[in-house]
Structure 1
Amino acid sequence: MIRTEGLRKEFRTGHTSKVAVDGLTLEIPPGRVTGLLGLNGAGKTTTIKILATLLRQTGGTVRVDHLDPLKEPNEVRRRINLIAGGERMVYARMTGRENLWYFGQLYDLPRTVLGPRIDELLAMVGLSGAADTMVERYSRGMTQRLSIARGLINDPAYLLLDEPTLGLDAPIARDLRRVVARLAAEGKGVLLTSHYLTEVEELCQYVYVIGDGGHLTAGSPAELTAQTGCHRTVRVTVSDPSPEVEAAVASLASRLHTVAGLERSEDGSLVVSLSHPDEIAGPLTMAIVGAGGTLAGLEVAEPSLEDAILVLSDGVGLVTA
């Protein structure tokens, strides 16, 4: 696996310095999509660039299948590859096929292996028909798909994905997620950073959350939402609101030690919102009906990873048992 322990990166400019990564320990095992989350400036891209041998750490250790990137960078590079959504990682004045041929030669792939692999990768990312078209004529989505093929040209054991779907149309982003899931199922270790948290929830079995370069918490998306005390939210639409209904809702909220949200719709109905860790849809609807209200709609929203990240980034902290 890839493992870091006490990873630290400090950037120095003249007499000033900035710590971008501070004591970070994480693991990226084969066969799993691992997420790395945090707000802008948390240290995600710096961490990925260290793992990709593009930056040297100033403290701590990195091991890729027991190899030290500082001592054996070429061996490490044979085992990894990087795809970054916000950076140009292919050459515009070359065709798609020429790009893959060029990068394949950088990895010393034999011609007998490289030719069939290029055809396979172009087919996988849906670019067989544009293989001999100059990349400068590609759309953004096509260019990003070619970057994915480039990132797989050396058949890496570990794939580092830094915002890989940034700016992509929804269908193309969906196709990329399918490719990533399949690669992990085939045994590749994947590290993913993304601001699209639904993407992380869909793909990642385990997630590290960092802030100011340091570790905040880690776990599965479900575990993170539980740790941060995020609650499911029940929203009930009442078609004939009355003071009695509002009083019943307020009484229930008081007994549950929470606060009810009351919002009037343009058609005169009332939308009641309650958040709580327990199942409260039944008690809330019974309270409304008991007060003479008529239900026009019911929605239950489970807590999301986005809710958990917002709690962590706001410094609320973790809920402990």
Structure 2
Amino acid sequence: MTMSDIAIEAVGLRRTYETRTGWLRPRRLAIEAVRGVSFQVGRGELFGLLGPNGAGKTTTIKMLNTLLLPTAGRASVLGHDVARDPMGVRRRIGYVFGGDKGLYERLSALDNLRYFAELYGVGPREQRTRIPEMLEAVGLRGRENERVEGYSRGMRQKLHIARGLLHRPEVLFLDEPTIGVDPVAARELRAMVAGLAADGITVILTTHYMAEADELCDRIAVISDGVIEAEGTPAQLKDRVRKLDVMEIEVRETVGGDRLDALRALPGVERLSVETAGMADVLRVHVRPSDEVPGAVLAALAGVRTGRIATREPTLEDAYVAIIGRAGEAAQVPA
């Protein structure tokens, strides 16, 4: 990737927070939220940043959009250094975050957009065309005179996106834009995000929904404990576990730790997780393809009441869980 093709570059980014602990004998602690993150995002690329809560995703995003200064390392957006030229960065980016904050509920959607257009330096003449364009683009045309306090979660998220695009940014940061949104609204938002990338806008997306990342992202970086653990296209990440099959076994009773340990110890079993799904648990067993291994797994569950049993190819979620799991295991190994 040549310099002219790069929209975002992070090199060795670090962010340390100082905090105090204790009451009678307070001590200062330094917590490293981001520990040497490096990656590049091409112009017009839709790049996903995935990781568990507390992994450093939002801290990384806030350093890239100038809301936080890096403790060490450097980053640039469209050639503008985030620390030395924050205004140059801010003029070229938009930031959309999930949740209800960031809008004025007593104002209408139209008044919200007018207010933010003023903040972004969009002139009155351009506002007269730009605001209706944005309302049309996000599907809020005809509802713009209603107060935001009466909007649904999905409508608020659409208004967030319209607000973030008012000043025609070249780079858009989307921090969990579909969180808490109903399935229909989430599908509309995903289509909107895909359209932004198709129009040439560089998008960085954080999300906890693996299917969303798989559908939308050109490339993905997985961050855990402040470190990038894996990076590549969704297909490349899935290839990490492609040599395994996934057995999903619905169990109608609690499976004890001794039996789970016995399952993990079976030849051909690479990983095992348990997920609660309604009134039952689902055992998700990653196994090496073999005619014998599935039978050995089911034999180890003899006497346990089971329901649906299925075997499938790994998904991006399986790859993500494997990457995060390996990172956690490595962190527990004494230095």
Structure 1 length-normalised TM: 0.78
- Stretches of structure 1 that go unaligned for 5 or more consecutive residues are 237-253, 262-272, 285-296
Aligned to 2:86: 73
- Amino-acid identity (%): 41
Once the two structures are overlaid, the 10-residue window that deviates more, 83-92 or 162-171, is 83-92
| 2:242–2:314 contact (8 Å) kept in structure 1 | no
Among 287, 290, 314, which residue is 2:325 paired with?
Answer: 314
Question: Following TM superposition, by how much is the alpha carbon of 1:101 offset from its aligned partner in structure 2, in angstroms?
Answer: 1.0
Aligned to 1:34: 47
1:243-291 Cα offsets, whole Å, 9 max, x none, are xxxxxxxxxxx9x9459x9xxxxxxxxxxx996565x79xx9xxxxxxx
State the alpha-carbon separation in 2 of the partners of residues 230 and 45 from structure 1. 32
Counterpart secondary structure, 2:121? coil
AA aligned to 1:193 is T
1:235–1:100 distance in 2 versus 1, CA, 3 Å:
closer
Question: Following TM superposition, by how much is the alpha carbon of 1:86 offset from its aligned partner in structure 2, in angstroms?
Answer: 2.8
Aligned to 2:225: 212
| 2:268–2:288 contact (8 Å) kept in structure 1 | no
Aligned to 1:173: 186
Aligned to 1:303: 314
Question: Following TM superposition, by how much is the alpha carbon of 1:225 offset from its aligned partner in structure 2, in angstroms?
Answer: 2.0
Structure 2 length-normalised TM: 0.75
Aligned to 1:3: 9
1:72–1:221 distance in 2 versus 1, CA, 3 Å:
same
State the alpha-carbon separation in 2 of the partners of residues 75 and 181 from structure 1. 26
1:185-224 Cα offsets, whole Å, 9 max, x none, are 1111111111111000000111101111111111111211
| 1:5–1:61 contact (8 Å) kept in structure 2 | yes
Question: Following TM superposition, by how much is the alpha carbon of 1:20 offset from its aligned partner in structure 2, in angstroms?
Answer: 0.4
State the alpha-carbon separation in 2 of the partners of residues 65 and 55 from structure 1. 18
- Whether 1:51 and 2:64 are equivalent positions in the alignment is yes
State the alpha-carbon separation in 2 of the partners of residues 305 and 205 from structure 1. 13
Aligned to 1:290: none
Counterpart secondary structure, 1:130? coil
AA aligned to 1:156 is P
AA aligned to 1:147 is H
State the alpha-carbon separation in 1 of the partners of residues 242 and 187 from structure 2. 30
Counterpart secondary structure, 2:67? coil
Question: Following TM superposition, by how much is the alpha carbon of 1:227 offset from its aligned partner in structure 2, in angstroms?
Answer: 2.1
| 1:228–1:312 contact (8 Å) kept in structure 2 | no
1:220–1:277 distance in 2 versus 1, CA, 3 Å:
farther
State the alpha-carbon separation in 2 of the partners of residues 33 and 197 from structure 1. 15
State the alpha-carbon separation in 2 of the partners of residues 107 and 18 from structure 1. 34
State the alpha-carbon separation in 1 of the partners of residues 313 and 116 from structure 2. 45
State the alpha-carbon separation in 2 of the partners of residues 304 and 11 from structure 1. 35
State the alpha-carbon separation in 2 of the partners of residues 141 and 59 from structure 1. 37
Aligned to 2:204: 191
- Stretches of structure 2 that go unaligned for 5 or more consecutive residues are 1-6, 21-27, 250-265, 273-283, 295-307, 331-335
AA aligned to 2:51 is G
Counterpart secondary structure, 2:43? coil
Once the two structures are overlaid, the 10-residue window that deviates more, 63-72 or 297-306, is 297-306
Equivalence map 1:255-274=2 (5 Å): 257=268
Once the two structures are overlaid, the 10-residue window that deviates more, 152-161 or 12-21, is 12-21
Larger radius of gyration: 1
Higher relative contact order (CA 8 A, sep 6+): 1
Question: Following TM superposition, by how much is the alpha carbon of 1:234 offset from its aligned partner in structure 2, in angstroms?
Answer: 6.7
State the alpha-carbon separation in 2 of the partners of residues 132 and 162 from structure 1. 27
Give the number of equivalent residue pairs.
278
Aligned to 2:138: 125
State the alpha-carbon separation in 2 of the partners of residues 68 and 274 from structure 1. 46
Among 15, 18, 22, which residue is 1:12 paired with?
Answer: 18
Aligned to 1:21: 34
Question: Following TM superposition, by how much is the alpha carbon of 1:302 offset from its aligned partner in structure 2, in angstroms?
Answer: 2.0
- Whether 1:97 and 2:110 are equivalent positions in the alignment is yes
| 1:119–1:128 contact (8 Å) kept in structure 2 | yes
Question: Following TM superposition, by how much is the alpha carbon of 1:28 offset from its aligned partner in structure 2, in angstroms?
Answer: 2.0
State the alpha-carbon separation in 1 of the partners of residues 147 and 285 from structure 2. 55
State the alpha-carbon separation in 1 of the partners of residues 199 and 54 from structure 2. 33
State the alpha-carbon separation in 2 of the partners of residues 186 and 43 from structure 1. 29
1:88-130 Cα offsets, whole Å, 9 max, x none, are 1211121101111111111211222122111011111111111
Two-structure CA RMSD over aligned residues (Å): 2.9
